[in-house]
A and B are shown apart, each in its own frame.
Chain A
Amino acid sequence: MPQVPRIAYLIEPRFPGGTSSAVAAELRAVEPLVRPVVHDARSAMFPDRPPARALADALSDLALPLRDGNGPVSADMVVVHNPAFLKFQTGLGQPIYCRDLVVVTHENFLRPGNVEAFDIGKCLEALDRASLSLNKWLAPVSPSNRETVAGWLATAKPAMRWRLAPSDWFNVIDHPRMRPKSDPRDRRGRLSRPGWEKFPAPADLDLCFPATAEANVILGADHLLKAGIARPHWRLLPFGTLPVASFFDEIDFLVHFTAPGWRESFGRVLAEGIAAGKVVLSDPETAANFGGAVIGCQPGQVDALIGHYVAEPAAYSDQVLRAQTLLERYSPAAFRRMLTSFRAPERRMAA
């Protein structure tokens, strides 16, 4: 039985979207196994923003204090989620002492076209300089994310000795599973934090959310509203103005495409859609992370696919139930298994 390491988290709790939700779910998953210590990295990226609601709730529920200040972060394993928070500063405030430093790469290191997504070298260098650690791991969140991290390591050849973690540090999906509707309708929607990267080109957005659909709900449409990009058949809602559960009540299909120059590293919202009992459609590359739970397609194929599932409720139901089964690989229990066996083969070799 592998020994459970003492774990400390060094996080920027102000990430507004998937990162904070993933950390919140991870803390809930880990806490029964080992009580983590959580440190606030307080970065220049979000100088005035309060911690994300999901994360604040998790810390509160688990009675875990968020440690502030510049004191050292030390544990057997120190987990740093999403190093991108360091991209606007030159160093990390706190020193890190640990055996394993795990940097969870929530953002793809390379954008489509193999363009570096942010100044990764600067972020990793800040962590490297601040840490005294036997092992420094880059832990991808999905197979596609792993490819971008490996690609960056191969081309950037950083002087620091970062290694690719042997297993994916996946997002924990602990949402209750909802039954699929027996009479699905052409009610479509998408949910993301606002940002140009999260939205496809206008022509593709029109294909995904056409006038022929019964409903098109776009939650997180702040920038579309600001820019006056609207259609009479779209219901545009700013981020956070509709509870997620209510959003899922209003749709039967989650249609999620992004800008071609950007890709989801994991796609947490897609997993949430599956858990909520919806058929989820996305681009083939993002869908591949979910092994069939998400239907990969092009925007031009969305209409036909939705038409098919509306006409065949049984197929709709089958797809949702099969996808929910596949979600089990992201369960809290699966995460605890991953954590306890993280680099176990290597430890055995070392022994």
Chain B
Amino acid sequence: MILIEAGERSVSAFEARLALAGLLRADGYDAVIDEATLPEDLGRHQKYEAAAIVVATGDLVPSHVLILTDGTLDDATLATLHDYRLAPGIPVTLAGRFADRQAELGARARIAYATGREPALIDLRQQSMTAPVPGGRCPGLIGGTGQRRTGSARMRLAIFLPGDIANAPDAAAALQALDHHPKIDLQIILTDGQIGETRPLQSSARNIADLSELPPVAAAAGIDAAAFFGDAMPEERLQLILTQLLGAGRPVIDATMPELLASGGAPVLRGPTDLSALSPYLDRTVLPNLAQIEATLRASPWCATRSVARFADLACLPRPARRTTAPARPRRTLFLPTNGVGLGHAQRCALIAREMKIKPVFAAFPSCLPLINASGFEAAALVAKSPDHPEPFANDIVNHLRLQRLLADGDTFVFDGGFIFDSVARAIREKDVRSVWIRRGLWQAGATSSAAFDREHLFDRIIIPSEAFAELNRPPGWDDRIRMVGPVVPAAPAADPRPDLRDALAEKAGLPFERLVVTMLGAGAAADRTAQLQFLCSLFERRGDVLHLIIVWPGAVVPPGLYSWQRSRVARTTDALAFARAADLVITAAGYNSFHEVLYHRLPAIFIPQMAEFMDDQTRRARAAAERDLARTVDAQELLRLEREVAQLLDMDGAAALRAALETADLPQTGTAEAASLIDEVARR
């Protein structure tokens, strides 16, 4: 382990450590950071990045200690170094840009006192390894940054700028012009944490991110050219990204008023400081000369001195045993369904996965595992959110680490969910994977401009399983990554696969019945349905001919009062459809899966829609079926109407009428196979 330290415990010094560790790790070195040395006020995204690099103090087995310092060495750092009790043969190396000889000698001496050995020294200025802008602590090193594949021939331009410039009155027009430039794929990267303040920018550009959420080495691999605006000293991670670009022969445009990059001697292009002039500048100066710019940069002495390998040699780091390369296993497809309100995402993924040419694998939350396993797929467990965790995103940090291990360059990553977790976004950014978002439609009004869509740009393909009724589908627009497919729903079998199910239920319940009613109102995550369930139980308790099955997912929390009824029974199952198919009446929420199962399996049903801000528009969906006389719809608070509808369907041939209408209903072809085929196509790229 190469232990990366810094002379102080500040957040900015930690950024430098993260940056250096990331660079070294990308080149195969086992660079780590001691968990005990993290600053207390780390940001959310720094925690994600640190998680993969930090090691608990007790597990540290350092073979080398690298300390970044400009001469500053605080007591905490010296105490930590002293307390490591490093074995005699473990070398310690200082790397920094020192103001004068005394700063260098002083740092060397204090490290010698604290570690009991004379440190080696890399004077970054002398070695021409300083960061592009003076003041950066991390050496300005160039790693083996690759260039991520891209589906288009357009130049991927990243504009780094602070929020005040992005929000300036004429910025929107300039950015919009660049976003629609025929030769450019634009990324806007906010450098000052003002991402939340720039929501209006979404109408100007599609790909907006905050610098803090970008893993630097991986981010650089996805950028072909960069322009840097503003007059603030660039953060360590930005310096690292820009250095990687220069090292890879990709143009970096210094658009700062004080010429921050150019004045430090970095081989950058001096560009216009006004955003509106950037497009013509690119057209005239950059785009026609990319090959020459690359050649010039590759021959630049500035770049020649900055390789990670040279730094490693100066620090006498042993060559890594093996470099990070593509895994020995074949490329694969990994599905990650979110756990959502029910198990709809997992069910949809399992259906699509069954149709794929090469069997995929899953990463899933514990509540989804039984369903996925029952569908015949292996699944690695993710960690669900819990109020017991110290931070609301603690589980997602663990999931990020798991995804890092599960995914390898070249894999295909399929996410099905409404909200794109940081772990998902990072997995896509960090690995050179093909990415697919299965995104059901029917968003509530205004939801498509929410944070859920901020990360849409990360995906190579977006598959939208359509709704059965045309008015519920929104046109996909002109984004060629988006494909709509027919409803993803289990195919209705020609013959009833379980003709004896009703007899088995009667025997198991010890209760003969003539009518079977199946209720599936959800797990209560979006809305509490205890009152409705109790009402239905009391309703059926009065009838001697009904067995009322309340279907819940395994692991769902069930109100204890439901167990006290004679004619109502709770059944935990991942195969709700089998019971629904055997029922005379289904009372269900109008989630995507249950709704389409009702339609495509011709099940007489009453929909009680669930609505919550973060969910799809179940009310619209249920009404669309009711308006066609294919189902009945009852609002959650309409209990008396619910009673009437139940009586009408069970006692007055209402159910038979619904079945008849469903038999003749003109429903679109299902899209499960097409969705699978679209994923296969992405995976083959």
Residues of chain A touching chain B, judged by Cβ–Cβ distance below 8 Å, are: 87-88, 111, 113, 115-119, 121-122, 195-197, 199-203, 223, 226-229, 259-262
Contact = CB atoms under 8 A, between A and B. Distances in A.
A115 B110 CA distance: 12
Contacts of A203: 85
In order of increasing CB-CB distance, the 8 nearest A-B pairs are A227-B79, A261-B112, A196-B113, A119-B102, A259-B113, A197-B113, A201-B116, A119-B101
A196 B78 contact: yes
Given A118-B109, A119-B101, A259-B112, A223 B75 contact: yes
Contact of B85 (A117, A201, A261): A201
Interface of B: 75-76, 78-80, 82-83, 85, 100-102, 105-106, 108-110, 112-114, 116-118
Nearest to A197: B113
B88 to A, nearest CB: 10
A262 B115 CA distance: 12
A329 to B, nearest CB: 30
A204 to B, nearest CB: 9
Given A119-B101, A122-B101, A111 B79 contact: no
Given A196-B113, A223-B75, A223-B78, A117 B105 contact: yes
Given A223-B78, A260-B117, A261-B109, 5 more contacts: A113-B118, A116-B105, A119-B105, A226-B75, A259-B116
A262 B83 contact: no
A202 to B, nearest CB: 5
Contact of A111 (B80, B102, B112): B112
A236 to B, nearest CB: 13
Nearest to A87: B102
Nearest to B106: A118
B83 A261 contact: no
Contacts of B114: 196, 259
B511 to A, nearest CB: 68
B113 A227 contact: no
Contacts of B75: 223, 226-227
Contact of A196 (B85, B100, B102, B110): B110
Residues of B contacting A: mostly: helix
B632 to A, nearest CB: 70
Given A115-B118, A203-B85, A262 B109 contact: yes
Nearest to B73: A196
Contacts of A115: 105, 108-109, 112, 118
Contacts of B117: 260-261
Contacts of A260: 112, 116-117
A203 B117 CA distance: 14
B35 to A, nearest CB: 16
A107 to B, nearest CB: 11
B67 to A, nearest CB: 14
Contacts of B108: 115
A88 B109 contact: no
A229 B78 CA distance: 12
B79 A229 contact: yes
Contacts of B82: 196, 201-202, 227, 229
6 contacts: A116-B105, A119-B100, A196-B114, A201-B116, A228-B79, A261-B113
A200 B113 CA distance: 8
Contacts of B83: 202, 227, 229
Contacts of B112: 111, 115, 259-262
B116 A261 contact: yes
Which among A197, A201, A229 has the highest number of chain B CB atoms within 10 Å?
Answer: A201
A227 B106 CA distance: 20
Contact of B118 (A121, A195, A226, A261): A261
Nearest to B118: A113
A47 to B, nearest CB: 16
Contacts of B102: 87-88, 118-119, 122
Given A223-B75, A223-B78, A227-B76, A111 B109 contact: yes
Nearest to B76: A227
A118 B116 CA distance: 18
B105 A118 contact: yes
A195 B113 contact: yes
Contact of A197 (B76, B101, B109, B118): B109
A113 B79 CA distance: 23
A213 to B, nearest CB: 21
A122 B105 CA distance: 12
A201 B76 CA distance: 16
Nearest to B85: A202
Contacts of A121: 101
A262 B105 contact: no
A261 B80 CA distance: 18
A275 to B, nearest CB: 28
A349 B464 CA distance: 103
A111 B112 CA distance: 10
A195 B100 CA distance: 22
